[in-house]
């Protein structure tokens, strides 16, 4: 019993120490941005791609920011999934009211390839980039770019060894319902891992010319379900670095239901399972920490029942250390992000106490999402059903132009086979 307690305690101490280390690295990254001199900007000719499927509720704010960037020479390529997609009419109406001289709207080719539809749109746009473009960037429709977003995102590409610059996603929820706070707590902890393991975020990506002109990039994207997590391996193949631009940290304040939140986390883990070399390390860390915490709770109660207050106190201290290490690292990172957002005139809300409560549940919720991710072969995303038996085997089992989500009764048959 003491041996088991010692082993589980060791596992949680390692877990907590890792998060303190990751948190320290992330804090240094943000301190460097907050203290840097931005008098000299790197602003090469750029093209920004916005793939669309469906009329995202944040689309109008995304367009407002994207088409009013403080950037000397950039073009925008909006690729809409289908001619009947409601996003197409919305974008055309928006551009009639707010014309932009360098915004091009096109329809994704109807030839369905063996990849996610976003990847198909990206490849189509990249292949049509003009010869004078030095940087290609893209963003998701739920990203609300501030005035310097593009400048901040492409800045790391000034280094010739850097081929990919990634922004960072941070949930700053207005709502405090269970699903929203679960996603916030998971993402806050995941950001620390992403920064340390070079896991890019597809919501804000910029590529240098040496990256986007290499056919290996588009060939690989054309075989992948998602566009972001696999970018690290592509960069390694091309002898380029992937770095993060903390100044391009983007806030998301939307709310989400608990079941949708868990499906979202599961999809992120499927992405990592397929396309990142450290997935099994992340999964092992998640499973072992949850198991160790559970065992120590049981042993602590047993020690207390047996009158072994010292042993119970030591076990409790280890669990408090591990939880406090994660909470402290997240809180410090959130403080730096808050300072960054306020420095550019943005608003920021935090719910530290409520987030802390969900952090204690996250090991178990995360394990459930990991199990779902490991078992998943079918993915239902915005009405498109993909069958993905292997990382570079993507089949579209069902496609139709975007429409509002079907009623729950229609979707019920998919609930046990897809996420």
Between helix 309-343 and helix 178-197 the angle, nearest 10°, is 80
Fold designation for 40-275: Spore Coat Polysaccharide Biosynthesis Protein SpsA; Chain A (3.90.550)
pLDDT given at position 417: 43
Instruction: For the chain, give the number of residues.
Output: 419
Cα Rg of the chain (Å, integer): 22
pLDDT given at position 390: 95
Residue ranges, CATH 3.90.550.10, the chain: 40-275
pLDDT in tens, 169-226: 999 888 889 999 999 999 999 999 999 999 999 999 999 999 999 999 999 999 999 9
Question: What is the dihedral angle through the alpha carbons of 379, 202, 277, 235, rounded to the nearest 10 degrees?
Answer: 130
pLDDT given at position 38: 54
End-to-end CA distance of the chain, in Å? 40
Residue 97 is encoded by which pair of tokens? 């009211």
Task: Of 24, 4, 371, give the one whose Cα is nearest residue 196.
Answer: 24
pLDDT given at position 410: 36
pLDDT given at position 407: 47
pLDDT given at position 35: 76
Residue 212 is encoded by which pair of tokens? 């986007």
* Pairing of the two strands 378-381 and 162-171: unpaired
3-state secondary structure the chain: CHHHHHHHHHHHHHHHHHHHHHHHHHHHHHHHHHHCCCCCCCCCCEEEEEEECCCCCCHHHHHHHHCCCCCCCEEEEEEECCCCCHHHHHHHHHHHHCCCCCEEEEECCCCCCCCCHHHHHHHHHHCCCCCCCCEEEEECCCCCCCCCHHHHHHHHHHCCCEEEEEEEEEECCCCCCHHHHHHHHHHHHHHHHHHHHCCCCCCEEEEEHHHHCCHHHHHHHCCCCCCCCCHHHHHHHCCCEEEEEEEEEEEECCCCCHHHHHHHHHHHHHHHHHHCCCHHHHHHHHHHHHHHHHHHHHHHHHHHHCCCHHHHHHHHHHHHHHHHHHHHHHHHHHHHHHHHHHHCCCCCCCCHHHHHHHHHHHHHHHHHHHHHHHHCCEEEECCEEEEEEECCEEEEEECCCCCCCCCHHHHHHHCCCEC
CA 173 – CA 249 distance, rounded (Å): 15
pLDDT in tens, 330-346: 999 999 999 999 988 88
Q: What does each C-alpha distance from 117 to 31, 224, 342 come to in angstroms?
A: 37, 10, 35
pLDDT given at position 409: 35
Asked if residue 41 lies in contact with residue 152, where contact means CB atoms within 8 angstroms, the answer is: no
Asked if residue 87 lies in contact with residue 196, where contact means CB atoms within 8 angstroms, the answer is: no
For every one of its 419 residues, what pLDDT tens digit does the chain have, with 9 covering 90 and above? 889 999 999 999 999 999 999 999 999 999 988 777 654 689 999 999 999 999 888 999 999 999 999 999 999 999 999 999 999 999 999 999 999 999 999 999 867 679 999 999 999 999 999 999 999 999 999 999 999 999 999 999 999 999 999 999 999 888 889 999 999 999 999 999 999 999 999 999 999 999 999 999 999 999 999 999 999 999 999 999 999 999 999 999 899 999 999 999 999 999 999 999 999 999 999 999 999 999 999 999 999 989 999 999 999 999 999 999 999 999 999 999 999 999 888 888 788 778 888 888 899 999 999 999 999 999 998 889 999 999 999 999 999 999 865 543 333 333 334 56
pLDDT given at position 388: 96
CA angle, 245 as apex, 152 and 262 as ends, to 5°? 120
pLDDT given at position 406: 52
CA 6 – CA 4 distance, rounded (Å): 5
């Amino acid at each position: 019993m003491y041996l088991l307690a010692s082993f589980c305690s060791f596992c949680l101490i390692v877990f907590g120490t890792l998060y303190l280390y990751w948190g320290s690295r992330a804090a240094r990254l943000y301190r460097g941005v907050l203290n840097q001199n931005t008098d000299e900007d790197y602003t090469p000719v750029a093209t920004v791609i916005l793939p669309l499927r469906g009329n995202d509720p944040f689309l109008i704010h995304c367009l407002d920011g994207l088409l009013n960037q403080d950037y000397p020479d950039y073009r925008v390529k909006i690729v809409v999934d289908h001619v009947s997609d409601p996003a197409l009419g919305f974008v055309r109406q928006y551009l009639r009211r707010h014309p932009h001289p360098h915004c091009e709207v096109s329809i994704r080719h109807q030839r369905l390839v063996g990849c996610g539809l976003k990847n198909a749109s990206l490849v189509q746009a990249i292949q049509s980039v003009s010869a004078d473009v030095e940087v290609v960037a893209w963003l998701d429709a739920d990203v609300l770019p501030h005035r310097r977003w593009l400048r901040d995102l492409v800045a790391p590409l000034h280094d010739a060894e850097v081929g990919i610059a990634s922004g960072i996603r941070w949930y700053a929820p207005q709502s405090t319902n269970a699903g929203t706070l679960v996603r916030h707590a998971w993402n806050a902890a995941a950001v620390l891992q992403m920064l340390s393991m070079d896991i890019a975020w597809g919501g804000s990506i910029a590529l240098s010319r040496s990256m986007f002109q290499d056919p290996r990039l588009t060939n690989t994207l054309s075989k992948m379900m998602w566009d972001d997590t696999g970018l690290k391996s592509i960069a390694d193949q091309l002898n380029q670095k992937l770095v993060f631009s903390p100044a391009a940290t983007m806030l998301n304040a939307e709310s989400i239901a608990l079941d949708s939140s868990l499906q979202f986390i599961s999809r992120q883990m499927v992405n990592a399972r397929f396309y990142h070399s450290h997935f099994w390390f992340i999964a092992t860390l998640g499973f072992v920490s949850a198991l160790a915490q559970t065992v120590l709770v049981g042993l602590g109660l047993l020690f207390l029942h047996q009158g072994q207050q010292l042993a119970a106190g030591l076990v409790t201290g280890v669990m408090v250390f591990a939880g406090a290490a994660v909470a402290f690292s997240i809180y410090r990172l959130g403080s730096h992000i808050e300072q960054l957002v306020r420095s550019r005139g943005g608003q920021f809300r935090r719910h530290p106490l409520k987030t802390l409560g969900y952090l204690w549940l996250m090991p178990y919720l995360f394990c459930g999402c990991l199990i779902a991710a490991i078992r998943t072969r079918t993915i239902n995303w915005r009405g498109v059903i993909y069958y993905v038996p292997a990382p570079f085997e993507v089949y579209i089992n069902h496609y139709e132009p975007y429409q509002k989500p079907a009623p729950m009764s229609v979707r019920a048959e998919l609930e046990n086979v897809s996420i």
